[in-house]
Amino acid sequence: MKRKPLVVANWKMHGQKAWIESFMREFAPGLGPLDHGEVVVCPPFVYLAQLQDALRQTHVGLGAQNVHSAEQGAYTGEVSAPMLREFGCSHVIVGHSERRTLFGESDADVAARFIAATKGGLVPLLCVGENAAERECSATEVRVRSQLDVVIERAGIAAFNNAVIAYEPVWAIGTGNTATPAQAQAVHAFIRGYLASHDEAVALSTRILYGGSVRADNAVRLAAEPDIDGALVGGASMAVKDFLAICAGFGV
Ligand code: PEP
């Protein structure tokens, strides 16, 4: 089965109105018609409205970097799925390793956010991945499987018909230490196999992105691996030329 490549920009807590304006002036025209793949940009919450406007005449999707599990309520500092939909979001990142490690989001929290996203009509981009210590003691598959299990148990495997997984080894995020294509492919194949043990059709259709120091000069080699269906890109997504080259490298 041919899966459409997807490249996602995660701007984290970066950006300013003027910078976004100049980025978009160069980025949108540089992209092409997006006939063969998809691109989604995830800015900080406060810039969603600006991006919603800027992306209106393009085929680029808009995503958020997190979503709360409730629709509304006394949850200071949080944002819900209906709110994100109102600002044109189609996608939302859940379970990014920075949320897990810096903000204490547990596997159960991540599953609740994933479910809220799907119920609210958003495509969750579920991040999973091991840290350096886990890789060193060969616990990568155990860690990734446990992260997936909580979501599969609570949301059901069918929820992955409308979800994306991002394999992001924590030791590769923002470090410049990209996983080799072979290392990434091995984990992607494991994830797809694990999905297949629950539902083969879901496993074949679910896109699994790689994230962790993706750059213009390693995108093509990562994209050549059979189970790597795109990328979640942090740092390099903020340099227009690099991000365009990454999108091209993944064939979008
Ligand atoms: C990320 O934060 O999801 C990420 C992959 O960052 P970077 O590309 O900078 O490693």
What's the pLDDT band for 90 if we cut at 50, 70, 90? very high
Residues 6+ apart with CB under 8 A from 214: 178, 222, 231, 232, 233, 236, 246
What's the pLDDT band for 176 if we cut at 50, 70, 90? confident
Please give the positions annotated as active site: 96, 168
Mind giving me the DSSP string for 151-179? HHHHH-GGGGGG-EEEE--GGGTTTS-PP
Give me the sign of the Cα torsion angle 80, 85, 151, 144.
negative
Binding pocket residue ranges, ligand 1, CB within 6 Å: 10, 168, 173-174, 211-214, 232-236
- 47 alpha carbon – ligand 1 mean position (Å): 19
Return d(Cα 199, Cα 228) in angstroms, integer: 19
What's the pLDDT band for 1 if we cut at 50, 70, 90? low
Atom number, ligand 1, closest to the C-alpha of residue 237: 8
pLDDT in tens, 116-171: 999 999 999 999 999 999 999 999 999 999 999 999 999 999 999 999 999 999 99
Chain centre to alpha carbon of residue 223:
15
Return d(Cα 192, Cα 244) in angstroms, integer: 28
Tokens of 21: 């304006």
Element (H, E) at 208: strand 207-211
pLDDT at 44: 98
- 200 alpha carbon – ligand 1 mean position (Å): 29
pLDDT in tens, 16-38: 999 999 999 999 899 988 888 99
Phi, psi of 95 (to 5 degrees): 75, 25
Return d(Cα 138, Cα 140) in angstroms, integer: 6
- Three-class SS of residue 135? helix
Contact between 90 and 55 under an 8 Å Cβ cutoff? The reply is: no
Angle at 243 between CA 233 and CA 57, to 5 degrees: 105
- CA-based nearest residue to 14, from 216, 237, 203, 199: 237
Average confidence score pLDDT of the chain: 96
pLDDT at 2: 80
Q: Which residue lies with its CA nearest to atom 7 of ligand 1?
A: 234
Torsion of CA 165, 105, 183, 232, to 10 degrees: 50
Q: Which residue lies with its CA nearest to atom 3 of ligand 1?
A: 234
pLDDT in tens, 42-66: 999 999 999 999 999 899 999 999 9
**99-132 CB burial, b ≥16 within 10 A, e <16:** bbeeeebebebbbbbbbbbbebebbbbbbbbbbe
